[in-house]
Amino acid sequence: MEYGCFSTKLGKLCGLVDGGKVFYLDTLDVPEYRKHPQGSFIRLLEKELTEYLDGKRQIFSFKPVVQGPYSRRRVLEEVTRIPCGKTITYKELAVSAGIRSPRLVGRILSENNILIIIPCHRVVSVKGLGGYKLGVDVKKMLLDLERSMCGDGNGR
């Protein structure tokens, strides 16, 4: 396991990785994770995030490790299937994940602690953008970045 924090265009992010698996990527520095050294995989994660935020990377080599109750795992795993440049609504995600409540989906996404790699910013409200852990302005910026980088997810 490796842990480290680094600066990005979004501010400070901290990550916990083990080889090509990411367990945590969020803004909060977690003291108990500091026992893990900062190594080559954390530097690779930082490099890939920088490339993504510069519009030069669409896919990450890291795979998220989703933990927790079944409904949480199901929703977050379904989010990883949303293509770059495409968005779906909380309701559509609830249906595809087999969850009865779009509100539960929203709560699960608000607790996502593997930001960007699990692209919960691609889930929007039927009435607009909806919320985002890093703020609606960041959500809009990420969606605009992905549209310019990937089109609309349908090859356009």
- Cβ–Cβ < 8 Å for 79, 109: yes
Active site residues: 120
Which pLDDT belongs to residue 22? 98
Its domain, for residue 6, covers: 2-63
Same domain (yes/no): 125, 141: yes
Burial of 108: CB neighbours in 10 Å, binned 0-12, 13-18, 19+:
buried
Q: Give the number of domains in the chain.
A: 2
pTM for the whole structure: 0.92
Regions of the chain where pLDDT drops below 70: 152-156
Which pLDDT belongs to residue 138? 96
Same domain (yes/no): 18, 51: yes
Same domain (yes/no): 76, 132: yes
- Cβ–Cβ < 8 Å for 104, 146: no
Which pLDDT belongs to residue 112? 97
Which pLDDT belongs to residue 135? 94
Same domain (yes/no): 121, 135: yes
Residue 155 domain-assigned? no
Residue 49 domain-assigned? yes
Which pLDDT belongs to residue 151? 82
